[in-house]
Amino acid sequence: MSSFNVELTNIQGPLSLNINIQGQDYLYFSGTAYLGIPQNSAFIGHYQDGLKKFGLNNGTSRGNNVQLGIYNEAEAYAAEYFGAEAALITSSGYLAAQLLVRAFASEHLIYAPQTHPALWLNGAPETRGGFSAWAKKTVERINGSPQNKWVLISNSLNNLFPEQYDFSFLRDILPENELFLIVDDSHGIGLIDKGRGVLNTIPVLPNVKVTVVASMAKALGIDAGIILGSTGVIGMLKRSNAFLGASPPAAAGLYAFMQAADIYRDELGKLQELMHYFSGKIDSGDWNFIPGYPVYFSQDPELYAMLLEQQILISSFPYPDHKGRPLNRVVLSSWATKESLDRLLSALKPAGPTAFQRGYRADRNAASL
């Protein structure tokens, strides 16, 4: 059976390091389960305990007169765990993002490049260039404007072309300007800053209020969204109709999350070892990656097809739209083994630099000007 005829959109089983597709075993280096939580037996055990304790789901809204206590408990726990004053948890990262950004829809909004669509209000914002160029222009715009209240919206990092964003530019904004910074940390929470996420890596300034929003379904492995911020902002959001009228996530998942600090720490340690091993054996000239982040962007458009023939699956899709060039990435998870990485590394050996790679570098450099 040719790998090009494999049906990948109807897999009948869980995603893990090894996936059986039409009777064939494939290694899987894609997805967002960075800490391997969907296949972690200890975490699954905590989740099962949560099911026994709280039941399968809870369809009542957060504004209902009868409430499970675990929701407030999980929010207080999350705030302490991630180093925030307060936290709010919703049923999805998208809901959390929309709840947050719509609370500031009437303000002067400035979007950074590549901001996740969950934070858009009315279609894609017009942003061009790279993050550094945007940051410089934003400082100039704010400092040169009579307007003194602004809302900046950005991802914490770029998980497509790996780059962790530097928010030190906030120090260059004149202190008479009041800033509200919204950061989507969906792909950083659980990984950045020993797992605490981006929140405490952003400069603390008297004129800047920082609020972080994230999906908890990636590294943390539960179907929920979270907002981390000041007591005032979280309190305001909790009084909104959108929050009070929505059903919360499954209590069992939050129960497992509250028991999983040691699991997250241990799995992050495993992932860091795997990243060190893999990055030390690939040719850094052929890949874009950043230390400590498990996503490796390849500039070879043929890589996906070549690995698929060897029964190895990586992330691949056209970018920025269906007419774009293929964006091929290797994504590591803590469920990987050194043996699986050795097989991947062996399969990568035939892949070398191409003329396309040089052209792609040139295109990206031009786009960032």
Nearest Cα residue to 40 out of 330, 214, 270: 270
How do beta strands 287-288 and 312-319 pair?
unpaired
DSSP secondary structure string for all residues of 275-334: HHHHHTTS-GGGEE--TT--EEEE--TTHHHHHHHTTEEEEEEEESSTTSEEEEEEE--T
pLDDT for position 368: 35
Nearest Cα residue to 71 out of 246, 189, 213: 246
- Low-confidence residues of the chain: pLDDT under 70: 1-5, 350-369
Calpha distance 2→7 (Å, rounded): 11
pLDDT for position 121: 94
pLDDT for position 214: 99
pTM over 0.85: yes
pLDDT for position 321: 79
User: Which residues are 276's β-sheet partners?
Assistant: none
pLDDT for position 206: 98
User: Which residues are 87's β-sheet partners?
Assistant: 228
Calpha distance 33→258 (Å, rounded): 18
- Using CA atoms, how far residue 366 sits from 128, 129, 133, 167, 218, in Å, is 11, 8, 12, 23, 32
The domains located in the chain, with CATH, are: 20-39+262-333+345-367 (3.90.1150.10), 57-260 (3.40.640.10)
pLDDT for position 9: 86
The pLDDT tens digits of the residues spanning 103-132 come to 999 999 999 999 999 999 988 898 889 999
pLDDT for position 19: 96
